[in-house]
Chains A and B, each alone.
Chain A
Amino acid sequence: MEKSLTQRMDWLHTWFGLVLGWLAFALFLTGTIAVFWFEIQHWAQPELHGAKMLSPEATLQYSVDYLQKVAPDSRRWTVTLPDLERHPLLVLNWLDENNELQFARLVPDGSGRKLTTVTNGGRFFVDFHWTFNREVPDLTGRKFQWTYMLSGFVGMAFLICTITGLIVHKKIFRNFFTFRRQANSVQTRWLDAHNVLGVLSWPFQFMIVLTGLAFYCYLYIPTGMQMAARYPAPPAPAVVGGGGPGMLWGRYASDAVGRVPGNIVAPGNPAPNVPIADLFARAQAEMGVLSSFTVNNPGRDNATVRFGGTRARPDAITFTADSMTFDGATGAVISPAGNTVNAVQKVTNVLGGLHFAFFGGTAMRVLYFLCGAAGTIMIGAGLVMFTAKRRSKAKSVAARRFYELVDRINVASVGGAMFACASYLWALRLLPQSLSDPNGGFSGGVYASIRAVPLDQAMRSDLELYAFWAAWGVAALHALVRAPRKAWAEQFAAVAALCIGLPAIGYLVPNSDLGSMIAAEDWKVVAVDLVGFSIGLMLACAAWKMRSKRVDVHVGKAIAAPALSPAD
């Protein structure tokens, strides 16, 4: 029998949605949390809490004075200036007399206090969201890696589901505002929730998955990069540390945050330099908020000072950062404000900018978070619907077993991912600071990647990741052995308890409790605590509803199979 378009699309939507929805849920969940990754990073570093930050100018002067004291004869200073609004951390790098890289991570309040906590923080959510915490050693796409390919495949499937979802949707306008919460059939209620969430946020869902795929398209379809790798890199314009043209080399050179570029210039003769603060003011007037500066050969006649604008620009949808270079001795402009990226990379960066949501401020990020949460719940509702729709109609024992297995995997996927994320936040708060990597860990911009190290050698950042995966493992095991209906309620209750407890555990470690954070007006920490708490309350309501044993009775028809899903 010939199938209609709708039926074919329905098949695609159902099976791509189910099989890849198990992973898509986790990717959406972490992606949603990652919208606020700077804030979570701040939340995870108690030394920064409540500190009274210096102004950008004072921070600059402080950094220069600090470096002048510890490394006056250095070949290079590199300073990552704090993002005072979102994540106020000052990172100073310099080359010592042996040209070894040294660093100091400081609280930018002028006290000189060092930040010893080395944590994956919120960055974890960003990296899990596309690598599943596997390190990506080759960002050029020349080496195949299944982890990011898998996340790309899930993204592709989700893109297909957004389109097929529109095609199979029955009466999209007629049901535009329809959420029949008291409908007799479980399936209708979940279907309505799934549809309302999906249709209203459809432009966001389509945009977010498309931009995510487009940003790393050269990894997902690596042939172009592999071909390009056969040829030498095109000559780069003579901009100090400016990155080269082209997507491949430009990205590779510029993606390593805080990395010191290799081209060290021999020192010239000692000579008075123009005050860096003056150059800073000039660069700031041209480029707006600055995020970093590099000084080559400070105090010499061949000194150069390069200022970098921020990638996380609040005023434009882009991922491209401008830079400007001065002659440190004369103050002349060596390269004017601008960037060296080509048109293709600029387009990619606009798509990336849309995906990363650095623009528009907190109000914008709240909407990204809401729409992301809507997408996450939509996927969860879709997964539940798969079994709600079929279970009661199962014709054979094998079919019923299959649906029960699907229900178990749903619990492991939905409940497990949430439990893992909540446990991870607990680990961030409760793991002792003393376990931190004394070498500053990955402040140099390495991804939050999991390493296979024995427990006794594991550092704080390793243990945080272990906590995440171990929690997920426990939840998955629980989902496999427990009856699905009970497992749903229990896992939601467990996640709710963890989330509700977030403000409470702040009292167990120094400088993180809610009361003093409110007193110190550190609203980032307060917000993470309270949002976690509110989400916990909602999950608790959901868990409460799931535990009641309401059995759906269709008129004139008794259901033989026991109810398995939280819908009942």
Chain B
Amino acid sequence: MYVLSTFLCAYAGFAALCAITARNVPLVWTTPPSRAVVRALRAAGFLLLALAWIPCYLRWDAPIGTAYWVMNLAASGFALVFPFAYAPKRSVQAGGVAALLAGLVLLVG
């Protein structure tokens, strides 16, 4: 469960960052986001990536958890980037769901 939570949380973080990457903006948004939204998503993105460390820490401890967190970033990134090439909007929207699920899974597990 911790593992799933980490994965979802990092996915959500990447999705937020992906949505505001200049190249991707026209693929994701019908009207360009305001600067406030961009800033909020950027902060949320990095925060979620950092928060993904917590389930790793809870599952193992700091050394092994950190190793897992780093590699999980790659896994979550791949899980976003390749589907994003096919369904950009949905992949990013899934990030919102992933963030909620990440918290839920952590609470339940």
Contact = CB atoms under 8 A, between A and B. Distances in A.
Given A201-B74, A370-B75, A371-B74, A317 B84 contact: no
A203 interface: yes
B21 A371 contact: no
Given A200-B78, A317-B67, A363-B68, 20 more contacts: A173-B21, A174-B21, A175-B23, A177-B24, A177-B84, A179-B84, A197-B78, A203-B73, A204-B74, A316-B63, A354-B67, A360-B60, A360-B64, A360-B67, A364-B64, A364-B71, A367-B74, A370-B71, A371-B71, A374-B74
A180 interface: yes
Contact of B81 (A196, A363, A371): A196
A196 B24 CA distance: 15
Contact of A200 (B67, B74, B85): B74
A176 B24 CA distance: 10
B109 to A, nearest CB: 13
B73 A200 contact: yes
A538 to B, nearest CB: 12
A271 B80 CA distance: 67
B72 A200 contact: no
A368 interface: yes
What does DSSP make chain B's interface, helix, strand, loop or mixed? helix
A363 B1 CA distance: 11
Q: Which of A177, A178, A315, A374 has the most CB of B within 10 A?
A: A177
A181 interface: yes
Contacts of A374: 74, 78
Contact of B67 (A176, A178, A196, A364): A364
Interface string B29-71: 0000000000000000000000000000000100110011011
B96 interface: no
Given A177-B18, A367-B71, A371-B74, A200 B64 contact: no
A359 interface: yes
Q: How large is the interface on A (under 10, 10 to 19, 20 to 34, 35 or more residues)?
A: 20 to 34
Contacts of B67: 317, 354, 359-360, 364
A297 B25 CA distance: 75
A360 B72 CA distance: 13
Contact of B86 (A181, A316, A364): A181
Contacts of A176: 17-18, 21
A28 to B, nearest CB: 15
Contacts of B71: 201, 203-204, 364, 367-368, 370-371
Interface of B: 3, 14, 17-18, 21-24, 60, 63-64, 67-68, 70-75, 77-78, 80-82, 84-86
28 contacts: A174-B23, A175-B23, A176-B17, A177-B18, A177-B23, A177-B80, A181-B85, A196-B78, A196-B82, A197-B78, A200-B74, A201-B74, A201-B78, A203-B70, A203-B71, A204-B70, A204-B71, A317-B63, A317-B67, A359-B64, A359-B67, A360-B67, A360-B68, A364-B67, A364-B71, A368-B71, A370-B75, A370-B78
Nearest to B91: A177
A374 B73 CA distance: 13
Nearest to B6: A363
Interface in A311-338: 315-317
Contact of B85 (A180, A315, A317): A180
Q: Which of B18, B60, B82 has the most CB of A within 10 A?
A: B60
A315 B14 CA distance: 29
B82 to A, nearest CB: 6
B84 A174 contact: no
B64 A317 contact: yes
A237 B49 CA distance: 48
Nearest to B64: A360
Given A177-B84, A354-B67, A370 B74 contact: yes
A527 B98 CA distance: 27
Nearest to B82: A179
Contacts of A368: 71
A491 B85 CA distance: 27
A200 B71 CA distance: 9
B42 to A, nearest CB: 12
A255 B71 CA distance: 29
Contacts of B80: 177
Interface in A350-399: 354, 359-360, 363-364, 367-368, 370-371, 374
Contacts of A317: 63-64, 67
Contact of B77 (A175, A180, A200): A200
Interface in A279-330: 315-317
B81 A200 contact: yes
A289 to B, nearest CB: 16
Contacts of B17: 176-177
A24 B86 CA distance: 31
A46 to B, nearest CB: 31
A374 B68 CA distance: 16
A175 B17 CA distance: 12
A374 B82 CA distance: 12
B74 A177 contact: no
B70 to A, nearest CB: 5
